[in-house]
Structure 1
Amino acid sequence: MHSIFRWTTALILALGMAVTAHADDTAVQIRQHAADHRMLVLGEFHGTRETPLLVRELVDDYSRDGAPVLLALELPRAENSTLRDYLASDGGAAARQRLQSRAFWTVRDDQHDGRRSRDMLAMIEDLRALKAQGRVIDVVGYDVDNSDGGNQARDDRMAAELRRLYQRLPAGARMLVLTGNVHAMLQRPLGAPPEMQTQPMASLLRDLDIYSVRLGALRGQAWACADTCVARSLPEQGATGPRVDAHAGRQYDLWVWMPELSVGTLVEQ
């Protein structure tokens, strides 16, 4: 029995190390291509285990030399005071309870869209710990508190909030934006469904020092919503490395493919 337990524990640790190694590799690719751009927009598939690890790695790397880093998450702005309090806390049980008891984290309907995961909460805790060590890190939400007005109105308002945050960055600071991959588009693609916004969020920020990255994977699953929200398989890709786009009609500046994405641990509905 003890040997089985040790084997299982070793396997779990090995898998965790492999996921972290993939995050490290992808972070290196992104930093190399994004260079000195001050606003880095990461277009993700919601609800994966790997993306929060990647974001944590990027924030760690960018803040390591003392430079301020602002991480903007696709969370309602109403969560910002609670996020600020948590980042200033000791991360203890009372602080965790205050954060996780907020309405955003306690959705109980079928639109649990993947932004609410224990992986995201673990990432926020990791950043709190880095901040407690002296890193200059802040985490904010930039989403609207409700989606009245449709897709375009929401993207307009999110872009306006990101612009406001960007304009308030201190000298030498970098801003990372985690968002759904449609919001990260620099152009509306040809053949897009009619309900898609005419001007995605990132396209409204092209006059800023923005660099947009599409986070993909060669295989795996993510948490996606149509009529309901479920785990959905990603189409397998044949890409083997990052792809840089520079043409005027590009959707993203950079495409990266992680080896695999897996569904994270969603906050219980």
Structure 2
Amino acid sequence: MFTDEVKNVLLKNRLIVVGEIHGAKENIFFIKKILSFYNKNDIPITLAMEWPSELTEEINRYIFKKGKLNWLSWKFSESPDGRISKEHLDLIKWLRAKNIKLVCFSVGGLSWNERDKKMAENILAEYNQNKEVKILVCAGRLHSRSKDFDFGKEKYTPLGYYLPKNETIFFELDYLSGNYFNVGLKKIRSKKINVKKDISIIKNKNNIFKVIIKKATPVHILSDKYLPKK
């Protein structure tokens, strides 16, 4: 799946940032592909997810076989935005089988800019713990940008802005068709890009790798409160 160029940047950089649209199964598929690449090459890797930071301890106790995973008690399990789903619980089980640590870096109760700065600080705290470990960061696409951007009359500084430029590579997931679940089932606006593979990776002029996914498939959220009534 990975070209030599992609393999080289994965080996060179310590922080690998993946920007997703929450709520598509293909996000998890791509995450696992990157983790598997490092795992097969015996390179220590940690996964960092845009989940509430207070879940880190419980999840890792489960991953490293020191405790149970009581996800039914999580307020986060009721989230309808696609960040947590049945497929993500399967991902945690997969991490357990591979002995891969998971760090949750999201925080609440802050403005957009304050939150992104704090999330970056949480990621960097893990980054500074062990220089031998690479970190795969998965977050929403706006948070995963590397530069400031304007939206309306406001200026936003994403978490990606705070990460060390010389050790960070960015992947942006782009979907050509299909559906995803984010506070309801939503349809991707079809884009006409000629690609032969289900997933293709192309580097753009800003040295960001665009991951072109032919079709998005919605995840199954854990709470049925937001599903269409029959």
8 Å contact 1:72–1:177 — kept in the other structure?
yes
- Normalised to the residue count of structure 2, the TM-score between the two structures is 0.85
- 2-structure distance, mates of 1:39, 1:261: 25
Once the two structures are superposed, what CA deviation does each residue of 1:172-205 show, in whole Å capped at 9, x if it has no partner? x211001000000112345x2345x521110121
1:257 CA displacement: 0.7
1:27 CA displacement: 9.0
Partner SS state of residue 257, structure 1 = strand
Partner SS state of residue 40, structure 1 = strand
Q: Does 1:160 align with 2:121?
A: yes
- Normalised to the residue count of structure 1, the TM-score between the two structures is 0.74
- 2-structure distance, mates of 1:138, 1:51: 18
Determine the structure 1 residue equivalent to 2:188. 234
Q: Does 1:243 align with 2:202?
A: yes
8 Å contact 2:23–2:83 — kept in the other structure?
yes
8 Å contact 2:9–2:169 — kept in the other structure?
no
Q: Does 1:77 align with 2:53?
A: yes
Instruction: Please list every run of 5 or more consecutive structure 2 residues that lacks an aligned counterpart in the other structure.
Output: 225-230
Letter in 2 for 1:183: H
Q: Select the structure of larger CA radius of gyration.
A: 1
Determine the structure 1 residue equivalent to 2:12. 36
Q: 1:232 and 1:159, CA in 2 relative to 1: closer, same or farther beyond 3 A?
A: same
Once the two structures are superposed, what CA deviation does each residue of 1:153-176 show, in whole Å capped at 9, x if it has no partner? 1001001111111112342x2110
Partner SS state of residue 95, structure 1 = coil
RMSD: 2.4
Q: 1:27 and 1:176, CA in 2 relative to 1: closer, same or farther beyond 3 A?
A: farther
Taking every aligned residue pair, what percent have the same amino acid on both sides?
Answer: 20
Aligned length: 219
8 Å contact 2:149–2:156 — kept in the other structure?
no
Structure in which a larger fraction of residues adopt helix:
1
Instruction: Please list every run of 5 or more consecutive structure 1 residues that lacks an aligned counterpart in the other structure.
Output: 1-24, 132-136
Which of 64, 68, 73 is the equivalent residue of 1:95? 68
Q: 1:30 and 1:220, CA in 2 relative to 1: closer, same or farther beyond 3 A?
A: farther
8 Å contact 2:201–2:211 — kept in the other structure?
yes
Q: Where in structure 2 are the equivalents of 1:98-117 lying within 5 Å?
A: 98-105=70-77, 107=78, 112-117=80-85
1:53 CA displacement: 2.0
Determine the structure 1 residue equivalent to 2:148. 188
